[in-house]
Chain A
Protein backbone atom coordinates (compact mmCIF):
# COMPACT_ATOMS: atom_id res chain seq x y z
CA UNK A 1 0.00 0.00 0.00
CA UNK A 2 1.20 3.52 -0.76
CA UNK A 3 1.55 5.83 2.21
CA UNK A 4 -0.43 8.51 0.37
CA UNK A 5 -3.37 6.15 -0.19
CA UNK A 6 -3.57 5.35 3.53
CA UNK A 7 -3.30 8.99 4.57
CA UNK A 8 -5.86 10.08 1.96
CA UNK A 9 -8.28 7.59 3.48
CA UNK A 10 -7.65 8.87 6.98
CA UNK A 11 -8.10 12.50 5.95
CA UNK A 12 -11.51 11.63 4.51
CA UNK A 13 -12.69 10.13 7.82
CA UNK A 14 -10.97 12.43 10.32
CA UNK A 15 -13.32 14.93 11.98
CA UNK A 16 -12.41 16.41 15.37
CA UNK A 17 -9.69 14.04 16.52
CA UNK A 18 -6.25 15.21 17.60
CA UNK A 19 -3.69 13.89 15.08
CA UNK A 20 -0.06 13.56 16.19
CA UNK A 21 2.41 12.69 13.42
CA UNK A 22 6.01 11.51 13.47
CA UNK A 23 8.94 10.87 11.16
CA UNK A 24 8.09 10.00 7.54
CA UNK A 25 4.42 10.89 8.01
CA UNK A 26 4.97 14.46 9.20
CA UNK A 27 5.28 16.15 5.81
CA UNK A 28 2.79 13.97 3.89
CA UNK A 29 0.12 14.58 6.52
CA UNK A 30 0.94 18.28 6.58
CA UNK A 31 0.36 18.44 2.83
CA UNK A 32 -3.09 16.90 3.23
CA UNK A 33 -4.38 18.50 6.42
CA UNK A 34 -4.40 21.95 7.98
CA UNK A 35 -6.28 21.51 11.23
CA UNK A 36 -5.76 23.20 14.63
CA UNK A 37 -5.59 19.78 16.26
CA UNK A 38 -2.74 18.55 14.05
CA UNK A 39 0.61 18.25 15.81
CA UNK A 40 4.00 17.31 14.36
CA UNK A 41 6.21 15.42 16.78
CA UNK A 42 9.23 16.72 14.91
CA UNK A 43 12.45 18.32 16.16
CA UNK A 44 11.63 16.44 19.34
CA UNK A 45 12.94 13.26 21.00
CA UNK A 46 13.59 9.96 19.26
CA UNK A 47 10.77 7.46 19.60
CA UNK A 48 8.60 9.44 21.99
CA UNK A 49 5.54 10.17 19.85
CA UNK A 50 3.23 7.37 20.97
CA UNK A 51 3.78 8.14 24.65
CA UNK A 52 3.27 11.87 24.05
CA UNK A 53 0.00 11.11 22.26
CA UNK A 54 -0.98 8.83 25.13
CA UNK A 55 -0.55 11.75 27.52
CA UNK A 56 -2.93 13.88 25.45
CA UNK A 57 -5.44 11.03 25.37
CA UNK A 58 -5.30 10.69 29.16
CA UNK A 59 -5.72 14.43 29.59
CA UNK A 60 -8.70 14.60 27.25
CA UNK A 61 -10.83 11.47 27.55
CA UNK A 62 -13.61 13.32 25.74
CA UNK A 63 -11.62 13.36 22.49
CA UNK A 64 -10.00 10.77 20.22
CA UNK A 65 -6.26 11.03 19.70
CA UNK A 66 -4.80 9.48 16.56
CA UNK A 67 -1.06 8.90 16.60
CA UNK A 68 0.62 8.29 13.23
CA UNK A 69 3.82 6.71 14.42
CA UNK A 70 6.78 5.28 12.54
CA UNK A 71 7.67 1.63 12.94
CA UNK A 72 11.20 2.48 14.02
CA UNK A 73 9.80 4.97 16.51
CA UNK A 74 7.40 2.37 17.84
CA UNK A 75 10.24 -0.07 18.41
CA UNK A 76 12.01 2.53 20.56
CA UNK A 77 9.12 2.67 23.02
CA UNK A 78 7.37 -0.68 22.77
CA UNK A 79 6.70 -0.41 26.49
CA UNK A 80 4.15 2.28 25.68
CA UNK A 81 1.90 -0.47 24.32
CA UNK A 82 1.79 -1.95 27.80
CA UNK A 83 1.38 1.45 29.44
CA UNK A 84 -1.49 2.49 27.15
CA UNK A 85 -3.35 -0.77 27.69
CA UNK A 86 -2.66 -0.72 31.42
CA UNK A 87 -4.15 2.71 31.95
CA UNK A 88 -7.10 1.95 29.68
CA UNK A 89 -6.52 4.68 27.11
CA UNK A 90 -9.88 4.06 25.46
CA UNK A 91 -9.59 7.07 23.16
CA UNK A 92 -6.13 6.39 21.71
CA UNK A 93 -5.79 5.15 18.13
CA UNK A 94 -2.17 4.23 17.52
CA UNK A 95 -1.34 3.81 13.85
CA UNK A 96 2.04 2.27 13.05
CA UNK A 97 3.21 3.24 9.57
CA UNK A 98 5.15 0.07 8.94
CA UNK A 99 7.55 0.17 6.00
CA UNK A 100 10.30 -1.90 7.62
CA UNK A 101 12.89 0.86 7.42
CA UNK A 102 14.16 4.04 9.00
CA UNK A 103 12.87 6.03 6.05
CA UNK A 104 13.96 9.59 6.83
CA UNK A 105 17.57 8.62 7.39
CA UNK A 106 17.79 6.66 4.13
CA UNK A 107 15.67 3.54 4.52
CA UNK A 108 18.07 1.50 6.62
CA UNK A 109 16.36 -1.78 7.61
CA UNK A 110 14.83 -2.13 11.05
CA UNK A 111 16.16 -4.72 13.50
CA UNK A 112 14.16 -7.87 13.00
CA UNK A 113 13.68 -7.24 9.32
CA UNK A 114 10.42 -6.63 7.47
CA UNK A 115 7.09 -8.00 8.60
CA UNK A 116 7.18 -7.20 12.30
CA UNK A 117 3.74 -7.95 13.71
CA UNK A 118 2.84 -4.78 15.60
CA UNK A 119 -0.79 -5.83 15.88
CA UNK A 120 0.32 -9.05 17.55
CA UNK A 121 2.51 -7.11 19.96
CA UNK A 122 -0.41 -4.81 20.79
CA UNK A 123 -2.80 -7.70 21.42
CA UNK A 124 -0.25 -9.35 23.68
CA UNK A 125 0.09 -6.04 25.54
CA UNK A 126 -3.64 -5.87 26.19
CA UNK A 127 -5.02 -3.76 23.33
CA UNK A 128 -8.65 -4.76 22.80
CA UNK A 129 -8.44 -3.88 19.10
CA UNK A 130 -5.31 -4.48 17.00
CA UNK A 131 -5.47 -5.02 13.26
CA UNK A 132 -3.19 -4.87 10.25
CA UNK A 133 -3.80 -3.73 6.68
CA UNK A 134 -1.84 -3.92 3.46
CA UNK A 135 -4.63 -2.56 1.30
CA UNK A 136 -5.89 1.03 1.43
CA UNK A 137 -9.47 0.18 0.46
CA UNK A 138 -9.79 -2.33 3.29
CA UNK A 139 -8.23 0.16 5.69
CA UNK A 140 -10.72 2.83 4.64
CA UNK A 141 -13.64 0.45 4.95
CA UNK A 142 -12.63 -0.34 8.52
CA UNK A 143 -11.87 3.24 9.55
CA UNK A 144 -15.34 4.29 10.80
CA UNK A 145 -15.40 1.39 13.25
CA UNK A 146 -11.74 1.83 14.24
CA UNK A 147 -12.38 5.49 15.09
CA UNK A 148 -15.37 4.53 17.28
CA UNK A 149 -14.15 1.36 18.98
CA UNK A 150 -13.25 1.42 22.68
CA UNK A 151 -9.48 1.35 22.67
CA UNK A 152 -6.66 1.60 22.83
CA UNK A 153 -6.70 0.64 19.16
CA UNK A 154 -3.61 -0.29 17.17
CA UNK A 155 -3.55 -0.21 13.38
CA UNK A 156 -0.54 -1.72 11.64
CA UNK A 157 -0.35 -0.16 8.15
CA UNK A 158 2.04 -2.11 5.98
CA UNK A 159 3.23 0.37 3.38
CA UNK A 160 5.93 0.58 0.75
CA UNK A 161 9.15 2.40 1.66
CA UNK A 162 9.46 5.79 0.00
CA UNK A 163 12.09 8.49 0.21
CA UNK A 164 10.85 11.10 2.69
CA UNK A 165 13.91 13.00 3.89
CA UNK A 166 14.88 14.52 7.24
CA UNK A 167 12.40 16.93 8.80
CA UNK A 168 13.13 20.45 9.96
CA UNK A 169 11.02 23.15 11.50
CA UNK A 170 11.50 26.37 9.53
CA UNK A 171 9.35 29.24 8.25
CA UNK A 172 9.57 28.16 4.60
CA UNK A 173 8.31 24.61 5.21
CA UNK A 174 5.19 23.88 3.16
CA UNK A 175 3.39 22.22 6.04
CA UNK A 176 1.94 24.87 8.35
CA UNK A 177 2.68 22.91 11.47
CA UNK A 178 6.40 22.82 10.68
CA UNK A 179 6.70 26.59 10.33
CA UNK A 180 6.98 27.26 14.07
CA UNK A 181 9.01 25.83 16.94
CA UNK A 182 8.05 22.74 18.87
CA UNK A 183 7.34 24.95 21.89
CA UNK A 184 4.99 27.19 19.90
CA UNK A 185 3.26 24.15 18.41
CA UNK A 186 2.75 22.65 21.87
CA UNK A 187 1.25 25.88 23.22
CA UNK A 188 -1.01 26.25 20.19
CA UNK A 189 -2.36 22.74 20.59
CA UNK A 190 -2.84 23.32 24.32
CA UNK A 191 -4.81 26.49 23.57
CA UNK A 192 -6.84 24.79 20.83
CA UNK A 193 -7.76 21.94 23.14
CA UNK A 194 -8.60 24.35 25.93
CA UNK A 195 -10.95 26.24 23.61
CA UNK A 196 -12.71 22.95 22.86
CA UNK A 197 -13.08 21.89 26.49
CA UNK A 198 -16.48 20.45 27.33
Chain B
Protein backbone atom coordinates (compact mmCIF):
# COMPACT_ATOMS: atom_id res chain seq x y z
CA UNK B 1 0.00 0.00 0.00
CA UNK B 2 1.10 3.53 -0.71
CA UNK B 3 2.44 5.08 2.49
CA UNK B 4 1.42 8.61 1.61
CA UNK B 5 -2.14 7.39 1.50
CA UNK B 6 -1.87 5.74 4.89
CA UNK B 7 -0.90 9.01 6.52
CA UNK B 8 -4.21 10.46 5.56
CA UNK B 9 -6.25 7.77 7.25
CA UNK B 10 -8.70 9.22 9.73
CA UNK B 11 -9.05 7.83 13.22
CA UNK B 12 -12.19 6.04 12.14
CA UNK B 13 -10.38 4.36 9.29
CA UNK B 14 -7.53 3.40 11.59
CA UNK B 15 -10.05 1.96 14.00
CA UNK B 16 -11.49 -0.14 11.23
CA UNK B 17 -8.09 -1.39 10.27
CA UNK B 18 -7.30 -2.33 13.86
CA UNK B 19 -10.66 -3.98 14.24
CA UNK B 20 -9.73 -6.35 11.46
CA UNK B 21 -6.41 -7.01 13.19
CA UNK B 22 -8.36 -8.01 16.28
CA UNK B 23 -10.69 -10.23 14.32
CA UNK B 24 -7.90 -11.93 12.48
CA UNK B 25 -5.17 -12.27 15.08
CA UNK B 26 -6.36 -11.57 18.61
CA UNK B 27 -7.50 -15.07 19.61
CA UNK B 28 -4.57 -16.73 17.87
CA UNK B 29 -2.05 -14.46 19.54
CA UNK B 30 -3.67 -15.06 22.92
CA UNK B 31 -3.44 -18.80 22.40
CA UNK B 32 0.16 -18.47 21.42
CA UNK B 33 0.98 -16.38 24.49
CA UNK B 34 -0.91 -18.80 26.71
CA UNK B 35 1.04 -21.71 25.32
CA UNK B 36 4.22 -19.97 26.43
CA UNK B 37 3.06 -18.53 29.73
CA UNK B 38 0.29 -20.93 30.78
CA UNK B 39 -1.61 -17.91 32.09
CA UNK B 40 -4.78 -16.69 30.34
CA UNK B 41 -5.09 -13.23 31.81
CA UNK B 42 -1.47 -12.33 31.40
CA UNK B 43 -1.62 -13.48 27.78
CA UNK B 44 -4.52 -11.21 26.93
CA UNK B 45 -2.69 -8.31 28.54
CA UNK B 46 0.43 -8.98 26.51
CA UNK B 47 -1.47 -9.18 23.25
CA UNK B 48 -3.31 -5.96 24.05
CA UNK B 49 0.03 -4.28 24.78
CA UNK B 50 1.52 -5.42 21.50
CA UNK B 51 -1.44 -4.13 19.49
CA UNK B 52 -1.48 -0.90 21.48
CA UNK B 53 2.19 -0.35 20.70
CA UNK B 54 1.40 -0.87 17.04
CA UNK B 55 -1.34 1.74 17.34
CA UNK B 56 1.06 4.27 18.82
CA UNK B 57 3.44 3.78 15.93
CA UNK B 58 0.80 3.58 13.28
CA UNK B 59 2.54 6.13 11.04
CA UNK B 60 5.21 3.50 10.57
CA UNK B 61 2.63 0.86 9.87
CA UNK B 62 3.76 0.31 6.30
CA UNK B 63 7.36 -0.24 7.25
CA UNK B 64 6.29 -3.54 8.78
CA UNK B 65 6.88 -6.06 6.07
CA UNK B 66 4.98 -8.97 7.46
CA UNK B 67 2.35 -7.95 9.98
CA UNK B 68 1.62 -11.49 11.06
CA UNK B 69 5.17 -12.41 11.92
CA UNK B 70 5.69 -8.99 13.50
CA UNK B 71 2.77 -9.65 15.83
CA UNK B 72 3.82 -13.19 16.71
CA UNK B 73 7.42 -12.11 17.24
CA UNK B 74 6.42 -9.22 19.50
CA UNK B 75 4.14 -11.43 21.58
CA UNK B 76 6.83 -14.06 21.87
CA UNK B 77 9.47 -11.53 22.94
CA UNK B 78 7.22 -10.05 25.60
CA UNK B 79 6.38 -13.51 26.92
CA UNK B 80 10.02 -14.48 27.07
CA UNK B 81 10.86 -11.25 28.87
CA UNK B 82 8.33 -12.16 31.50
CA UNK B 83 9.70 -15.65 31.80
CA UNK B 84 13.26 -14.43 32.07
CA UNK B 85 12.26 -11.97 34.72
CA UNK B 86 10.32 -14.40 36.77
CA UNK B 87 12.04 -17.67 35.94
CA UNK B 88 8.74 -19.24 36.84
CA UNK B 89 9.43 -22.84 36.20
CA UNK B 90 12.34 -25.00 35.16
CA UNK B 91 10.76 -25.97 31.90
CA UNK B 92 11.10 -22.44 30.58
CA UNK B 93 14.84 -22.56 31.00
CA UNK B 94 15.25 -25.62 28.88
CA UNK B 95 16.62 -25.11 25.40
CA UNK B 96 14.49 -27.96 24.14
CA UNK B 97 11.37 -26.13 25.15
CA UNK B 98 12.28 -22.99 23.21
CA UNK B 99 13.17 -25.04 20.20
CA UNK B 100 9.78 -26.75 20.27
CA UNK B 101 8.08 -23.37 20.60
CA UNK B 102 9.86 -22.26 17.45
CA UNK B 103 8.59 -25.25 15.54
CA UNK B 104 5.14 -24.48 16.91
CA UNK B 105 5.31 -20.87 15.72
CA UNK B 106 5.86 -22.08 12.18
CA UNK B 107 3.02 -24.51 12.57
CA UNK B 108 0.39 -21.97 13.51
CA UNK B 109 1.12 -19.31 10.95
CA UNK B 110 -0.46 -21.24 8.07
CA UNK B 111 -3.53 -21.52 10.31
CA UNK B 112 -4.73 -18.24 8.85
CA UNK B 113 -6.00 -20.15 5.84
CA UNK B 114 -7.98 -22.39 8.11
CA UNK B 115 -10.59 -23.99 5.92
CA UNK B 116 -14.14 -24.74 6.86
CA UNK B 117 -13.74 -28.34 5.79
CA UNK B 118 -11.20 -28.84 8.56
CA UNK B 119 -13.41 -27.10 11.09
CA UNK B 120 -16.37 -29.27 10.15
CA UNK B 121 -14.23 -32.35 10.54
CA UNK B 122 -13.17 -31.18 13.98
CA UNK B 123 -16.74 -30.64 15.15
CA UNK B 124 -17.74 -34.04 13.84
CA UNK B 125 -14.86 -35.61 15.71
CA UNK B 126 -15.84 -33.82 18.92
CA UNK B 127 -19.34 -35.23 18.56
CA UNK B 128 -17.89 -38.73 18.58
CA UNK B 129 -15.98 -38.34 21.83
CA UNK B 130 -17.08 -40.26 24.92
CA UNK B 131 -19.69 -38.27 26.84
CA UNK B 132 -17.55 -37.13 29.78
CA UNK B 133 -14.58 -36.24 27.59
CA UNK B 134 -16.80 -34.22 25.32
CA UNK B 135 -18.46 -32.38 28.18
CA UNK B 136 -15.16 -31.42 29.78
CA UNK B 137 -13.66 -30.40 26.45
CA UNK B 138 -16.61 -28.18 25.57
CA UNK B 139 -16.64 -26.51 28.99
CA UNK B 140 -12.93 -25.90 28.79
CA UNK B 141 -12.39 -24.86 25.20
CA UNK B 142 -15.72 -23.42 24.18
CA UNK B 143 -17.04 -21.93 27.38
CA UNK B 144 -13.59 -20.87 28.48
CA UNK B 145 -13.96 -22.30 31.98
CA UNK B 146 -10.83 -22.90 34.04
CA UNK B 147 -10.00 -26.48 35.02
CA UNK B 148 -10.70 -25.64 38.64
CA UNK B 149 -14.15 -24.27 37.76
CA UNK B 150 -14.99 -27.35 35.73
CA UNK B 151 -13.83 -29.55 38.60
CA UNK B 152 -16.18 -27.73 40.96
CA UNK B 153 -18.99 -27.72 38.43
CA UNK B 154 -18.77 -31.49 37.86
CA UNK B 155 -17.72 -32.25 41.42
CA UNK B 156 -14.54 -34.13 40.54
CA UNK B 157 -10.84 -33.41 41.11
CA UNK B 158 -8.77 -31.03 38.98
CA UNK B 159 -6.49 -33.94 38.13
CA UNK B 160 -9.45 -35.81 36.68
CA UNK B 161 -10.31 -32.81 34.52
CA UNK B 162 -6.75 -32.55 33.25
CA UNK B 163 -6.83 -36.24 32.45
CA UNK B 164 -10.15 -35.90 30.59
CA UNK B 165 -8.81 -33.05 28.48
CA UNK B 166 -5.62 -34.92 27.65
CA UNK B 167 -7.68 -37.99 26.74
CA UNK B 168 -10.11 -35.97 24.62
CA UNK B 169 -7.20 -34.39 22.84
CA UNK B 170 -5.42 -37.68 22.20
CA UNK B 171 -8.62 -39.17 20.80
CA UNK B 172 -9.29 -36.15 18.63
CA UNK B 173 -5.81 -36.29 17.25
CA UNK B 174 -6.27 -39.90 16.26
CA UNK B 175 -9.66 -39.24 14.70
CA UNK B 176 -8.44 -36.24 12.75
CA UNK B 177 -5.48 -38.16 11.40
CA UNK B 178 -7.28 -41.38 10.48
CA UNK B 179 -10.97 -40.57 10.21
CA UNK B 180 -11.67 -43.93 8.59
CA UNK B 181 -10.51 -45.93 11.59
CA UNK B 182 -13.03 -44.43 13.94
Do A and B interact?
A: no
